[in-house]
Amino acid sequence: MPKLLKCPKCGYSRSWVLRRDHRRCKSCRAEWSPCTRFLVRGMRLNRDHWKTIIGAFLDLETIRAVADRCHVSFVTAHSAVTIIRSVMTNDAPTSFTGICEADETYIGGAWKNKAIHIRRQGSKRGRGTNKQCVFGIVCRAAQQARVWLVPNAQRRTLIPIIRSQVKVGSSVFTDGHKAYRILPKYGYVHEWVDHDAGEFVRGDVHTQTMDGFWGLLKTHLDSIGGIKRKNASYFVGEYLWRYNFRHLTRGEKINRIIDLLARIGGR
């Protein structure tokens, strides 16, 4: 027996065909589209289209190259890539346990490359700058990371994120930033190295995994070029996804994104 197509507005399962892929509900008379051929609502791309686009996107192609390879327009390729970036951003690991490293950094290009009127406004390096603050946690056992764009590096911003992401009882390794020193109160084992005193590694205690991740992230963002601050989360999310799922094969990566798209597309 065929699956009954239900109206997305009222859930009534009787409708008639208006034209290809368009139906009208018999109850509320709304026009809707079953879109069984298309993975994501609003995009006239079937599964094979999406697979080609995701493949090209994973090869770090430009939007123009994605459009050429998949025989779609630039605008379509751009929307598709934006959708892929947004599902990647939402596909982050939810819970860390064991030894974790937490650190924060600032993204947004080197000062020497900024326009003179921006440089004249004056700012500083490190904490207190007006660049975008990014906070990250990496789990050493799972070799996965998660990153948040945060307004500042204060205790009331960072501690709730750690508490929501890292299981109580885990070890959290950080630098000497004072905001982290409250962690033992919330049931974490907190060890830190004093970067200001030139101490970067003390046995197992270091934030080198996180620092390495920041280096890779910044190199990647530099390779894209100037990005708007409001879009930064998508680019960071994309890079994070690539990092977290780097051990998957190409086919597994494509299938994972297809599944995510199908979920948000409601198929």
For 169-233, give the DSSP string. T-EEEE-S-GGGGGGGGGT-EEEE--GGGT---BTTB--HHHHHHHHHHHHHHHHH----GGGHH
For residue 246, what are its two tokens? 């780097």
Binding mask 228-267 for Zn ion (x = CB under 5 A): ----------------------------------------
Between 4 and 116, whose beta carbon lies closer to Zn ion? 4
Per CB under 5 A, the segment of 29-37, 42-50, 158-166, 226-234 that binds Zn ion is 29-37
Between 8 and 109, whose beta carbon lies closer to Zn ion? 8
The reply on whether position 142 binds Zn ion by CB under 5 A is no
For residue 78, what are its two tokens? 């751009």
Q: Tell the smallest beta-carbon distance from residue 5 to Zn ion (Å).
A: 11
The reply on whether position 33 binds Zn ion by CB under 5 A is no
How far CA 42 is from CA of 2, 45, 233, 262, in Å, comes to 24, 9, 23, 13
Per CB under 5 A, the segment of 10-18, 97-105, 126-134, 249-257 that binds Zn ion is 10-18
Binding mask 181-220 for Zn ion (x = CB under 5 A): ----------------------------------------
Q: What's the CA gap between 171 and 137, in Å, rounded? A: 12
Q: Taking Cα atoms as reference points, which of 211, 213, 221, 207 lies closest to residue 107?
A: 221
- CA 35 vs. chain centroid, Å, equals 27
List 13, 17, 18, 28, residue binding Zn ion (CB under 5 A): 28
Residue 246 neighbours by CB under 8 Å, 6+ apart: none
Q: Taking Cα atoms as reference points, which of 178, 169, 107, 92 lies closest to residue 137?
A: 92
List 25, 77, 183, 254, residue binding Zn ion (CB under 5 A): 25
Residue 138 pairs in a beta bridge with 101, 145
The reply on whether position 10 binds Zn ion by CB under 5 A is yes
CB atoms within 10 A of CB 32: 20
Q: Tell the smallest beta-carbon distance from residue 16 to Zn ion (Å).
A: 12
The reply on whether position 12 binds Zn ion by CB under 5 A is yes
The reply on whether position 9 binds Zn ion by CB under 5 A is yes
Between 6 and 78, whose beta carbon lies closer to Zn ion? 6
Per CB under 5 A, the segment of 17-25, 129-137, 222-230, 257-265 that binds Zn ion is 17-25
Residues near Zn ion (CB under 5 A): 7, 9-10, 12, 25, 27-28, 30
